[in-house]
Amino acid sequence: MANHHGDHPRRPLRFVIVGAGMAGILSAIKLQEAGYDSIVVYEKADRLGGTWRDNTYPGIACDIPSHLYRFSFAPNPDWTHTFAPGHEILAYLEDVASRFGVRDRIRLGEEVVRLHHDGDRWNITLAGGEIDHADVVIGATGVLHHPRYPDIEGLDTFAGASFHSARWNHSVELAGRRVGVIGTGSSAVQIVSAIVGTVGELRLFQRTPQWILPVPNPPIDEEQRARYREDPASMDALRKELGQTFETNFANAVVDANSPQMQLIEEMCRQNLETSVRDPGLRERLRPDYRAACKRLVVSPDFYDAIQQPNARLVTDPIAGVEPGGVRTSDGTLHELDVLVLATGFRVDQFLRPIEVVGPSGVTLEQLWAQRPTAYYSISIPGLPNLFLLNGPNGPVGNFSLIDVAELQFAYISQLVDLLDRGEARLVSASARATERFEAERVEAARNTVWVTGCRSWYLDDRGIPSAWPWSFDRFRAEMAAPRLEDFDLVPA
Ligand code: NAP
């Protein structure tokens, strides 16, 4: 509880939150609830919502059940599907921001370009030149945020329309046209299933096949939604049940490559391939040569059906280059196209960057992360006091609900903030020693995960080590329950 009211002599803490996606909205709500009043959220885009604002491609849905992928404190009886479409999630985030009274704290169209701690507080420089100040900065800038454009020769010479999956150009007509999709990740798979019925011809350029877990996405009918509205407790029970199922059968399975649950997932994926793809040649071209869930598992009830439509073609010859007329593959074929979709993923090692971050000693984030991003429990960076990250480097990403992750991380951060508020410290950041120890333990544990069983994926860093939480969700919950203060450098007030 904020301690800055009444006769307290210290100045009230001021907070700057960078980013108004799910985690930024959460931070503003939680700080406000704790009684803090000086809170501003800077958002460079003109709308809140983060990934759900940026990704509007056809077929977008979250593959975590919606009654699980929501704030614990804001149940939503109105999800129309087990896995709600992206626009419903965006509307939900906007609604939560309004209902919990933090909309007015969000300054849209304001990009933070520099964070400099002068030993007393953070100086926050905005793109327009304005400088704000804060005692505490919360970095809520997301992970899958900066599109990764492929390095393909001639890409910029393409005469048709070309765009990244996270920058969908809705003014481009797809009906009846020749559309190419590069990539076979979760984005591409959803796009292919959604557009195959509309486009004239579809070419899917596959560099690596994916295992596909066939999970249906039934609608939640109005009768059921009405029951949820009348009895909100039933949604909590459902969330609990979904959470347990998800945790046991998936989240904890991927960190133990030899677990029976992992074998079950592999078997389901294999069965899906065997029973859904009729043509043996196509089936073999779609068959990965690595274990299921080594790459982030792709969930889709209808991708195999889509790729077997008469107007769809899987292209497995490597891409040699792009030309004005289309994509040329290494066998010499020109695949003529009107539209080229780059579902080629994200630069996942950016986090706060390109914001220039400078600590009180003059050390910069670029220097600290010269090799690769690290942070103590993905939250705090030695040398950068009173800066806390949500969904920062090497955290639980991809195999948990990121909303649950952010809530647990925020509860942990708020205990550090309370120290500042109570005057028990003025500056707090993880110690270098504790961060190194954590990193060494993390790297060691990563050896047991399914992510290192032999595939290329966005989980793997430059050393081939998964940049992810390699333990169970229970362990994450336990670690997030309370900070170990001996692992922090505390500067007295
Ligand atoms: P991704 O998983 O990183 O997939 C990128 C795809 O592009 C891969 O198939 C990759 O091939 C291919 N690629 C990249 N560069 C290429 C090149 N130069 N030539 C040919 N192919 C190239 O990206 P994403 O599909 O956007 O998904 C990212 C993550 O976002 C997911 O893993 C998931 O965590 C999240 N997501 C979730 C959902 C959902 O909830 N349903 C939906 C979308 C995204 P290789 O495999 O050979 O590298």
Q: What is the pLDDT of residues 394-431, one digit of tens each?
A: 998 767 899 999 999 999 999 999 999 999 999 999 99
Q: Of the residues 87, 186, 329, which should be mutated to test ligand 1's pocket, given the most ligand atoms within 8 Å of the CB?
A: 186
Q: Of the residues 344, 346, 397, which should be mutated to test ligand 1's pocket, given the most ligand atoms within 8 Å of the CB?
A: 344
Ligand 1 center–CA 456 separation, angstroms: 11
Q: What are 89's two structure tokens?
A: 């999630």
Return mean pLDDT, the chain: 95
Ligand 1 atom with the shortest distance to the CA of 152:
18
Position 7 scores a pLDDT of 47
Ligand 1 center–CA 417 separation, angstroms: 36
Percent of the chain at pLDDT > 70 equals 98
| Rounded-to-integer distance, Cα 34 and Cα 3, Å | 9
Q: Which residues are bridge partners to 356 per DSSP?
A: 114
Ligand 1 center–CA 117 separation, angstroms: 36
Mean pLDDT confidence for 120-134: 98
pTM of the model: 0.96
Q: What is the pLDDT of residues 25-63, one digit of tens each?
A: 999 999 999 999 999 999 999 999 999 999 999 999 999
pLDDT of 6 strictly over 50: no
Residues contacting ligand 1 via CB (< 6 Å): 61-63, 144, 150, 152, 165, 182-188, 190, 207-208, 296, 319, 343-346, 398, 456, 458
Q: Which residues are bridge partners to 298 per DSSP?
A: 212
pLDDT of 150 strictly over 90: yes
Position 9 scores a pLDDT of 54
Residues written for the chain: 493
Ligand 1 center–CA 134 separation, angstroms: 37
Ligand 1 atom with the shortest distance to the CA of 455:
46
Ligand 1 center–CA 114 separation, angstroms: 30
Position 5 scores a pLDDT of 46
Q: Of the residues 81, 90, 167, 187, which should be mutated to test ligand 1's pocket, given the most ligand atoms within 8 Å of the CB?
A: 187
Ligand 1 atom with the shortest distance to the CA of 61:
41
